[in-house]
Structure 1
Amino acid sequence: LTFSTMTIMQAMVGKSKLHIVDYGMCFGFQWVGLLHLLASREGGLPEVKITAIDNPKPKTGPAVRIEEIECWLRKYAHEFGLPSFKFHTI
């Protein structure tokens, strides 16, 4: 587990909603483990929302990459049983 994941899990004790704002999202790998932990925690399934703020890079096609990350994270959230997962981009 990463330090950020452990810190978020500690902060979520007794909470039912989580909104993450990710500035400069690269690949979103770090959120899969967190989604899995949140889905298996005691106390019920939380509402999870991730807002991705991407740094535009003309050669890499950030909008396409962010859309792929969104699909990938939605797939995992569904597999983990998090029906209230939301993903937004700015």
Structure 2
Amino acid sequence: MNLVENETRLHIDDFGILYGFQWPSLVQQLSARPGGPPKLRITGIDFAEPGFRPAQRVEETGRRLANYVETINVPFEFNGIAQKWDTIQIEDLKLDNNEVLVVNSMYLLKYLLDETVVVESPRNVVLNG
């Protein structure tokens, strides 16, 4: 919260968003912030699901978060990405210099191969992206 105390725009890139259960408490705190909440943008990143709709879980997470955020009047935008993390391009994240950027990954980067396994490691591709 200290990071965005006086900021008007916050962008969270969440690698491994799954169902987004980690965000409602932060959104609630932002909504009660003196001076009003910042515009919140979350880029939810997850692996593609097998089958006909590879982005279904990420899209559903975005809809649930948008519905919740609307009830507490926080300006919100969601960008869902469902693909291998090492194939994500910086342009896919839609970064904006006028936003505070926070990157979240709860224990999931450990599943990407590192330089001890392959020279061009997927983990380094993601981290250096």
- TM class by shorter chain equals 0.7 to 0.9
Aligned equivalent of 2:28: 36
Q: CA–CA distance in 1 between the matches of 2:16 and 2:50?
A: 14
**Alpha-carbon deviations, 1:32-88, whole Å to 9, x = none?**
1111110111122210000011112426x6511111111110011100111x20000
Are 2:54 and 1:65 equivalent residues in the alignment?
A: no
Q: Larger C-alpha radius of gyration, 1 or 2?
A: 2
Aligned residues: 80
Are 2:76 and 1:88 equivalent residues in the alignment?
A: no
If the length of structure 2 is used for normalisation, what is the TM-score? 0.57
* Long gaps (5+) in structure 1: 1-8
SS in structure 1 opposite 2:30?
Answer: helix
Are 2:46 and 1:54 equivalent residues in the alignment?
A: yes
* Long gaps (5+) in structure 2: 82-129
Which has a greater percent of helix?
A: 1
Q: Percent identity, please.
A: 39
